[in-house]
């Protein structure tokens, strides 16, 4: 559902190996490559890491000459543009197609997509029909002759489906039904789904992606002359990037049975060898569920299929565990089945009878009390109703997928042993790990030509651009004064470019002699931007209390934040506001000057990342242990010689193993300690560190922003219980070790030779996080495909 492509020009020219020639040609026309590239709109059809991962994967697939494509939707508006007005986030539509998109090619390929309607004689008769139309964007591989496609579907109304009769009869609502549906379908990436209409739209988008893509895949299978359906799993693998494309499984079943005439068992055997699932989150509240009632209205035939998959799965669990106690069996089925709160009519009547009996008993007891002369209060009669049944998409993925993978070693373990524990016991062979990666073309070679030429010169070849294991040759040179000098010069050049951008976008002048300390990612409580800004407040308070001599000893820092908050996520927006409010005070404090600057750069996107990451010296990846599946910006920073301060979470664990503990600033509790820490808090046994309490008090005192402005934000860190209360993400718990670790960072930065050595080692051992490695593992361990170079 998401591709966060960013700009294509620099990447396309670079992958063709024509950067120099293209740049010269532009100069003869009076332009520079940089300025020309800067005119291109960012293709922002994704929210963050998940969509950017898909974009890196496409680059690696093309570079490795693998026969694979990306499928998605051609949203008219990408992820919103973020502006900061009076320190507060404002959202504006991103009309990225406004001036046209020179890369895409509209194809004649179209497929009908049905919605609503009913099932007649076992087949679906949709009540509304639109067409999905293919737009292809070429994805060139690095120095290959090959281009793969990113195929994005747009929704259109077929002329013959336009209801002219109703229009002429002036029934515009009816005549425009398909037209309206089509124009809404691809309007925006992730429409708000707070209402039923919003949910229906979002689910329709998912279905359109799945139906069009599955139809396209099967059409190509036939076009290539395949007539033997049993070959389908050999020829095709469908990788579902999270649960958003789960409907691909029931859609494949529907087409194989209702259009190709297969029986259930044959279709099911093929489907379960064709689709595979990547999990991207372990937070239970983020696992996708849809109301069964809504799905039944929108996709009646698919719901029949899902119900049967569910029934057969339950039967197979019963058969697999003949010795389990009834309670254990019920628990297992409850955890794994697709439908939640679902009851057959008989079960519903039984539940109703049980509720009625309980009520009767209660009334009898009250009557007895009343008879004994006691005063009794009779509550209002409430009609008993069953909880709304839901379709759990991740469970459907686990049941229909032949492989289930997480995206970093620690995450894959949590997925197998906790999130999908019962599936892990039932089908251990399905579970895999595929640690994420990023493309070294975009994220090092092209975004940081300064460091790239230093690397190429040092190791004597530019083949590291694909063979990132070659970067290890930098390891033995890490102490070399000549290399260190060039390394630092490249970093300085990038810091100057970044400082220019920061001044242009925020008006704040920053010193390039200060350490560039960066946290850029979606704003989320679990990512703990709050921990970062509270650490900054602590440091500011400390500096204010220092003598001038002590102050002269402080390591100067420029603290840069960037990231978008989901438009309705109030707590995240308050965190943005706290950062800008702290910046307003600190940046204008003459006592502090260049010792500390705090800036929030607006509208974080791929291009901004390409400017910030090469300039970074320290970056923060400080999520509560066990909450960040992998993270990928940590890998981009590492490649660019940036040191990381982080928790043992996601891919940080593996990055630390690669660079060595001496080159990673580790703090915070570990994943197994998280639940006990929450329990300690809930039991009222946690005493926050006085330095944390002091920061809370500073914020409450109204030094930053308006008095009371952050009360609701701080509320989440207070109290003892519940989600959104009682410091669920353990900011207070990790605060002491965080600020102590930051002191170590400041001390380490003073020894520039040692720091540069660590920086070189970071890049040297970043080879594992090349997305070519990740994709090679998907290709061999899941998809079973081999490179197919264009001759």
Ligand X SMILES: *Cc1c(COP(=O)(O)O)cnc(C)c1O
Residue numbers at the binding site for ligand X (CB under 6 A): 4, 48-49, 52, 521, 605-606, 609, 631-633, 636
> Which structure tokens are listed for 590?
């003459």
- How many other C-beta atoms lie within 10 A of the C-beta of residue 238? 20
Residue 416 vs 524, nearer CB to ligand X: 524
Q: What is the DSSP letter of 555?
A: P
Catalytic pick among 307, 308, 421, 522: 522
Active-site annotation holds for 41: no
Residue 580 vs 638, nearer CB to ligand X: 638
> Which structure tokens are listed for 254?
């529907």
Question: Nearest approach, Cβ of 618 to ligand X (angstroms)?
Answer: 14
- The helix-helix angle for 529-544 and 731-750 (nearest 10°) equals 60
Q: How far is the C-alpha of 466 from the C-alpha of 738, rounded, in Å?
A: 36
| Residues 692, 698, 704: CA angle, nearest 5 degrees | 130
Residue 61 vs 581, nearer CB to ligand X: 61
Active-site annotation holds for 636: yes
Catalytic pick among 632, 756, 763, 774: 632
Helix (H) or strand (E) holding 498: helix 481-506
Catalytic pick among 521, 538, 564, 768: 521
Contact 682, 720 (CB under 8 A): yes
Question: Nearest approach, Cβ of 631 to ligand X (angstroms)?
Answer: 4
Active-site annotation holds for 632: yes
Question: Nearest approach, Cβ of 436 to ligand X (angstroms)?
Answer: 9
Residue 486 vs 636, nearer CB to ligand X: 636
Residue 486 vs 528, nearer CB to ligand X: 528
CB-based burial, 122-158: b 16+ in 10 Å, e otherwise? eebebebbbbbbbbbbebbbbebebebbbbbbbbbbe
Residue 587 vs 632, nearer CB to ligand X: 632
Question: Nearest approach, Cβ of 44 to ligand X (angstroms)?
Answer: 8
Residue 219 vs 283, nearer CB to ligand X: 283
Q: What is the 3-state secondary structure (H, E, C) of 606-653?
A: HHHHHHHHHHCCEEEECCCCCCCCCCCHHHHHHHCCCEEEECCCCCHH
Is residue 131 classed as helix, strand or coil in its secondary structure? Answer: strand
Active-site annotation holds for 280: yes
- How many other C-beta atoms lie within 10 A of the C-beta of residue 23? 15
φ/ψ of residue 361, rounded to 5: -60, -40
Q: How far is the C-alpha of 37 from the C-alpha of 59, rounded, in Å?
A: 19
Catalytic pick among 636, 681, 733, 768: 636
Q: Which residue has the tokens 């790990």?
A: 433
Question: Nearest approach, Cβ of 38 to ligand X (angstroms)?
Answer: 17
Question: Nearest approach, Cβ of 415 to ligand X (angstroms)?
Answer: 18
Question: Nearest approach, Cβ of 630 to ligand X (angstroms)?
Answer: 7
Is residue 448 classed as helix, strand or coil in its secondary structure? Answer: coil
Q: How far is the C-alpha of 306 from the C-alpha of 287, rounded, in Å?
A: 18
Question: Nearest approach, Cβ of 57 to ligand X (angstroms)?
Answer: 13
Residue 535 vs 650, nearer CB to ligand X: 650
Q: How far is the C-alpha of 760 from the C-alpha of 753, rounded, in Å?
A: 11
Give the residue numbers annotated as catalytic, written as ranges.
280, 521-522, 527, 632, 636
């Amino acid at each position: 559902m998401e591709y966060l492509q960013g700009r294509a020009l620099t990447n396309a020219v670079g992958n063709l190996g024509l950067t120099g020639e293209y740049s010269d040609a532009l100069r003869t026309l009076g332009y520079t490559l940089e300025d020309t590239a800067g005119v291109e709109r960012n293709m922002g059809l994704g929210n963050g890491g998940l969509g950017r991962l898909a974009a890196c994967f496409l680059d690696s697939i093309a570079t490795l000459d693998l026969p694979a494509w990306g499928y998605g939707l051609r949203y008219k508006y990408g992820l919103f543009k973020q502006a900061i007005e009076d320190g507060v986030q404002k959202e504006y539509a991103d009309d990225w197609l406004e001036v046209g998109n020179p890369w895409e090619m509209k194809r004649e390929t179209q497929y009908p997509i049905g919605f609503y309607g009913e099932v007649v004689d076992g087949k679906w008769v949709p009540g509304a029909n639109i067409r999905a139309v293919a737009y292809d964007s070429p994805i060139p591989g690095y120095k290959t002759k090959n281009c793969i496609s990113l195929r994005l579907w747009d929704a259109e109304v077929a002329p013959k489906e336009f209801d002219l009769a109703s229009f002429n009869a002036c029934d515009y609502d009816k005549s425009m039904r398909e037209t309206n549906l089509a124009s809404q379908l691809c309007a925006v990436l992730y429409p708000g789904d707070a209402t039923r209409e919003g949910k229906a739209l979002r689910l329709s988008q998912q279905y359109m992606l799945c139906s069009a893509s599955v139809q396209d895949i099967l059409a190509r299978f036939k076009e290539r002359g395949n007539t033997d359906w049993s070959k389908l799993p050999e020829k095709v693998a469908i990788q579902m990037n999270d649960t958003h494309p789960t409907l691909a499984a029931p859609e494949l079943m529907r087409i194989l049975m209702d259009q190709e005439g297969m029986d259930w068992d044959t279709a099911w055997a093929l489907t379960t060898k064709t689709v595979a699932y990547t999990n991207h989150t372990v937070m239970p509240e983020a696992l996708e569920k849809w109301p069964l009632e809504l799905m039944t209205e929108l996709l009646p035939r698919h719901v029949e299929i899902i119900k049967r998959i569910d029934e057969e799965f339950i039967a197979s669990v019963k058969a697999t565990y003949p010795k389990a106690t009834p309670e254990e069996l019920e628990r297992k089925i409850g955890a794994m089945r697709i439908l939640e709160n679902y009851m057959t009519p008989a079960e519903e009547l039984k539940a109703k009878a049980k509720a009625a009996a309980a009520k009767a008993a209660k009334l009898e007891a009250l009557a007895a009390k009343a008879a004994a002369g006691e005063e009794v209060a009779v509550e209002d009669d409430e009609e008993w109703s069953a909880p709304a049944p839901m379709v759990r998409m991740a469970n459907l993925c686990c049941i229909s997928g032949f492989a289930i993978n997480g995206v970093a070693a620690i995450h894959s373990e949590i997925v197998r042993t906790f999130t999908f524990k019962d599936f892990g016991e039932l089908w251990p062979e399905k579970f895999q790990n595929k640690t994420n990666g990023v493309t070294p073309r975009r994220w090092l070679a092209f975004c940081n030509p300064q460091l790239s030429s230093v690397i190429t010169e040092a190791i004597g070849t530019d083949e590291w651009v694909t063979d990132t294991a070659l970067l290890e040759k930098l390891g033995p040179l890490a102490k070399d004064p000549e290399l260190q000098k060039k390394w630092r010069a490249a970093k300085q050049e990038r810091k100057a470019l970044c400082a220019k951008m920061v001044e242009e976008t925020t008006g704040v002048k920053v010193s390039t002699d200060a350490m560039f300390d960066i946290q850029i990612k979606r704003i989320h409580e679990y990512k703990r931007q709050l921990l970062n800004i509270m650490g900054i407040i602590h440091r500011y308070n400390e500096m204010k209390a220092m003598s001038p001599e002590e102050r002269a000893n402080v390591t100067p820092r420029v603290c840069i934040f960037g990231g978008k908050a989901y438009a309705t996520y109030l707590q995240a927006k308050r965190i943005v506001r706290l950062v800008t409010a702290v910046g307003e005070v600190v940046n204008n404090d003459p006592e502090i000057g260049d010792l500390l600057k705090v800036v929030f750069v607006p509208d974080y996107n791929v291009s901004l990342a390409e400017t910030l990451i090469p300039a970074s010296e320290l970056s923060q990846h400080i999520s509560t242990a066990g909450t960040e599946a992998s993270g990928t910006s940590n890998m981009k920073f590492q490649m660019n010689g940036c040191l990381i301060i982080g928790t043992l979470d996601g891919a940080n664990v593996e990055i630390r193993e690669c660079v060595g503990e001496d080159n990673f600033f580790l703090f915070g509790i570990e994943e197994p300690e998280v639940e006990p820490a929450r329990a300690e808090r809930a039991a009222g046994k946690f005493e926050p560190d006085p330095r944390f309490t002091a920061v809370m008090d500073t914020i409450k005192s109204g030094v930053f922003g308006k008095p009371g402005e952050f009360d609701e934000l701080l509320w989440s860190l207070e109290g003892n219980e519940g989600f959104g209360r009682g410091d669920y993400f353990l900011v207070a718990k990790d605060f002491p070790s965080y600020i102590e670790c930051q002191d170590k960072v400041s001390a380490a930065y003073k020894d520039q030779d040692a720091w540069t050595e660590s920086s070189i080692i970071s890049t040297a051992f970043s080879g594992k996080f090349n997305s070519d490695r990740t994709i090679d593992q998907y290709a061999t361990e899941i998809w079973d495909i081999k490179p197919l170079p264009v001759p």
